[in-house]
């Protein structure tokens, strides 16, 4: 956050030139949680070609920042690496059987499925895998500009506000400008319906290569075996 003043100035100088805002998926999280992925002079093109997120629309925040990295959803004992503080839950979602990826061999029993593979088991629906991977829910802090509740003492500075992990936005006069974060759940899943699967590699890509790209690898009867995780919320 030591670059804050430089950034503030730079936003005014460069903001008009390239008010690029790409805050989808892995890049879409609370701006005060951003971790630098370049330096003050990193251009849009360099930033993107380094695989980083770029968003210069939020005044006072880092604009070339590390993506929120969701890794290895499917590996046991590995958790999401998040460039922010968030609570993580792994849950079994029984609601959408037709989207299930297969987490074990045909005929796998409940014990092996849940204990050894750390997956979910449900044999109520025929014709779909009864052993399928858990979804992951990340409860992350967000800045909701409505419902603002003061988060700090009056006249708090920008730096002090961010140090307290509050949200800062002083563009609306008469509203609290250093305000509480709210929580939002984001779901990351490999249980993706065939029609929604997005290919994440060449045909024949290996399991390891696929998963190293943070994609899902499941040998399903239809659709690509290596496909992108679905992120909602
Ligand atoms: C906050 O700052 C303004 C302007 O500097 C000052 O008039 C006001 O008294 C300050 N408020 C508090 C609670 O310190
Ligand atoms: C908003 O905060 C920034 C950083 O502290 C400051 O430079 C700017 O003058 C403030 N703007 C308003 C309208 O108070
Ligand atoms: C997020 O999901 C978890 C697990 O289902 C739940 O315990 C938590 O209350 C949810 N948080 C919010 C903000 O909805």
pLDDT of residue 212: 72
pLDDT of residue 33: 65
pLDDT band at 80 (very low <50, low <70, confident <90, very high): very low
Bridge partners, residue 189, by sequence: 230
Question: Which atom of ligand 2 is closest in space to residue 157's alpha carbon?
Answer: 5
Tell me: pLDDT of 6 over 80. no
Percent of the chain with pLDDT over 90: 21
| 147 vs 32 pLDDT, higher one | 147
Provide mean pLDDT across the span 158-170. Answer: 85
Mutate to test the pocket of ligand 2, among 170, 173, 178 (most ligand atoms within 8 A of CB): 170
Provide mean pLDDT across the span 31-41. Answer: 76
Give 154 Cα–ligand 1 centroid separation in angstroms. Answer: 8
Whether the Cβ atoms of residue 94 and residue 122 lie closer than 8 Å to each other: yes
Provide mean pLDDT across the span 100-124. Answer: 89
Give 144 Cα–ligand 1 centroid separation in angstroms. Answer: 25
Nearest to 84 by CA among 48, 162, 30, 160: 30
Question: Which atom of ligand 1 is closest in space to residue 153's alpha carbon?
Answer: 13
Give 52 Cα–ligand 2 centroid separation in angstroms. Answer: 27
Mutate to test the pocket of ligand 3, among 85, 185, 186, 188 (most ligand atoms within 8 A of CB): 185
Least trusted range by pLDDT, from 85-89, 96-100, 119-123, 222-226: 85-89
The protein residue with its alpha carbon nearest to ligand 2, atom 11, reads: 170
137 ligand 3 Cβ < 6 A: yes
Cα separation, 199 vs 216, whole angstroms:
10
Least trusted range by pLDDT, from 6-20, 28-42, 56-70, 121-135: 6-20
pLDDT band at 86 (very low <50, low <70, confident <90, very high): low
Give 155 Cα–ligand 1 centroid separation in angstroms. Answer: 6
Q: How far is CA 227 from CA 6, 21, 192, 217, in A?
A: 40, 26, 9, 7
pLDDT of residue 110: 95
Give 147 Cα–ligand 2 centroid separation in angstroms. Answer: 21
Percent of the chain with pLDDT over 70: 78
pLDDT of residue 8: 33
pLDDT of residue 184: 83
Tell me: pLDDT of 151 over 90. yes
Beta strands, E only, the chain: 53-54, 64-65, 87-91, 120-121, 131-132, 135-142, 167-168, 178-179, 182-189, 215-217, 226-228, 230-232
């Amino acid at each position: 956050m030591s670059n804050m003043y430089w950034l503030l100035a730079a936003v005014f100088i460069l903001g008009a030139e390239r008010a690029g805002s790409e805050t989808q998926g892995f890049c879409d999280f609370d701006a005060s949680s951003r971790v630098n992925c370049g330096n003050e002079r990193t251009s849009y093109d360099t930033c993107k070609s380094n695989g980083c997120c770029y968003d210069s629309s939020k005044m006072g925040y880092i604009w070339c920042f590390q993506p929120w990295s969701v890794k290895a959803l499917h590996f046991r004992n590995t958790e999401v690496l998040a460039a922010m503080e968030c609570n993580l839950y792994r849950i079994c979602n029984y609601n959408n059987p037709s989207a299930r990826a297969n987490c074990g061999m045909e005929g796998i029993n409940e014990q092996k499925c849940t204990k050894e593979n750390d997956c979910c088991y449900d044999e109520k629906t025929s014709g779909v895998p009864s052993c399928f991977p858990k979804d992951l829910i990340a409860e992350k802090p967000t800045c909701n500009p409505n419902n603002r509740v003061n988060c700090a003492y009056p006249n708090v500075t920008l730096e002090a506000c961010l140090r307290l992990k509050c949200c800062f936005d002083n563009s609306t006069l008469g509203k609290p400008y250093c305000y509480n974060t709210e929580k939002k759940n984001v779901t990351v899943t490999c249980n993706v319906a065939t029609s929604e699967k997005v290919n994440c590699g060449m045909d024949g890509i290996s399991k390891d290569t696929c998963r190293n790209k943070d994609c899902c690898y499941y040998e399903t009867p239809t659709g690509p075996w290596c496909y992108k995780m679905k992120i909602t919320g």
